[in-house]
Every structure is written in C-alpha cells, then in structure tokens.
C-alpha cells in the first residue's frame, strides 16, 4: 500500500473549536511548507530533558514525585518522526509556574523552573525526567481548578507538522470540570490526552514511568489545545 493510501484525513470534529467567528480553512500545502526547516539546529543538550535538575543549583534537585515520561511522535501514516523538537512546560509539584505572572499562592521550588526540550530519535521517541505537576486555580472563573497537566509543543518535520497540546493524568476528577480538557468534545479523543502508566519505563526505586504518544496529523491526530 502506498503512503498516500495509508493517510487518513484529520477528523476536525474532535479538535476544540477555534475562537475565530469564521470557519477554519484547511490550506493546501506547498512543497516548501512540507519540506522547509522548522527550527534552528542548535545542539539540544541532554540535561535539557531532565527537569528535575536542569534549573537546579549544584547538588540540588526539584522537589516532587519523579516521573519518566516518554512516547513516540508519528505522522498520519503511523510513520515515526525522527528529529522532531519536543518542548514541555509545567508547574512545580505545588501547582506554581516558574513565571512571575503566576499569582497562585503556592510554594516556590527554587530548584525547578518547569521547562524542558529534547529531539526525537530514529524511532520518533522522546523522553523526559520530571516531577508530577500540581493542579492550580483559575480564579477568574470563580472557584475552579485546572487538573494536573503538562504542556507540549512539537515541531515535526515541517511547518505542517506543528502541534500544541496538553497531557493529563489518569483518574483526576478535576478533568470533569476543566474547560480546556472538555473543549475536546469526543470522549475517545480526550482519552488520548491521558498519559498511561508504563512500568517498563520506570527506574526502580527512583521514578515511575508513563507514556504519552503524539500523532501530529491525520485521523488520529492528538487533539490540539483550545
């Protein structure tokens, strides 16, 4: 079967509605959009994928429940995407972002900033060591809380393979009331945003393993963030 025959078109009904008052227009891609470079090739260092230490003072580390989070980045024909830039950002274990604009009354972790990046390998696999993020309040919406989540930005092999999304954790009751999670109207698609416990990636006595696979395009594309 040819690659073209394997490609299944994006299911627009599962992605959050755009805030624009006009309907979205799928663009026909030119060759340069499909083949042009998408990010600089400055070396990404290994330490950048370790959020427990990449902002810590010498000999220190972030406080929290350590976790390995890994997964494959694939395209609409289930082909791995090597060389994709995967960037994540998240709160500390207490639900506070490392940004002075975050006014949540929660403890600062001086050894955690909450950002990391890495590049996928030949199998399209990425991996981070981090700590489990905390929930945080959205006070402009009243007494509401966002469930624990990690933000992802993925630059694939071309501009047409850019995705921004968030992953969540199993069994979190705050998801029921979350306007971002619930903006994905299809239950099966929402469940694709939940990380899976994967003990084969755990580091014994040190960190629990989880997987979060990302599909950049096509029918099974990972739902975008609202």
Return d(Cα 72, Cα 17) in angstroms, integer: 26
Please say if 97 is a catalytic residue: yes
Q: Name the catalytic one among 15, 66, 132, 151.
A: 151
Six-digit token pair at 153? 């930005």
**Helical segments of the chain, H only:** 3-6, 31-35, 187-191
What token pair was written down for 112? 């955690």
Active-site hit among 72, 97, 132, 217: 97
Residues in the chain, overall count? 226
CB 210 within 8 A of CB 196: yes
* Among 126, 136, 181, 210, the one annotated catalytic: 136
Count of alpha carbons within 13 angstroms of residue 97, beta-carbon side? 15
Distance CA 108, CA 111 (A): 9
- CA separation for the pair 199, 59 (Å, rounded): 28
**Phi, psi (deg, nearest 5) at residue 103:** -95, 10
- The yes-or-no answer on residue 149 being catalytic is yes
Active-site entry in 66, 72, 132, 149: 149
Instruction: Given the residues 66, 146, 192, 217, select the one marked as catalytic.
Output: 146
Do residues 131 and 52 lie in contact, with contact meaning Cβ atoms separated by under 8 Å? yes
136 included as an active-site residue:
yes
**Residues belonging to the active site:** 97, 136, 146, 149, 151
């Amino acid at each position: 079967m040819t690659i073209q025959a394997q490609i299944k078109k994006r299911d627009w009904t599962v992605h959050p509605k755009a805030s624009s008052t006009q309907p979205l227009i799928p663009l026909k891609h030119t060759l340069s959009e499909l083949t042009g470079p998408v990010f600089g090739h400055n070396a990404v260092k290994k330490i950048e994928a370790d959020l427990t230490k990449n902002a810590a003072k010498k000999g220190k580390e972030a406080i929290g429940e350590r976790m390995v989070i890994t997964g494959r980045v694939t395209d609409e024909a289930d082909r791995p995407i090597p060389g994709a830039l995967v960037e994540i950002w998240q709160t500390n274990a207490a639900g506070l972002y490392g940004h002075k604009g975050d006014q949540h009354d929660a403890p600062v972790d001086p050894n955690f900033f909450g950002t990391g990046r890495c590049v996928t390998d030949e199998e399209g696999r990425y991996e981070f060591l981090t700590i489990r993020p905390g929930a945080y309040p959205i006070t402009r919406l009243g007494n509401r809380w966002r469930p624990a989540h990690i933000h992802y930005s993925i630059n694939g092999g071309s501009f047409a393979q850019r995705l921004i999304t968030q992953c969540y954790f199993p069994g979190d009751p705050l998801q029921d009331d979350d306007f971002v999670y619930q903006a994905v109207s299809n239950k099966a698609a929402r469940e694709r945003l939940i990380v899976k416990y994967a003990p084969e990636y755990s580091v014994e006595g040190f960190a629990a393993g989880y997987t979060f696979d990302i599909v950049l395009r096509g029918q099974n594309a990972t739902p975008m963030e609202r």
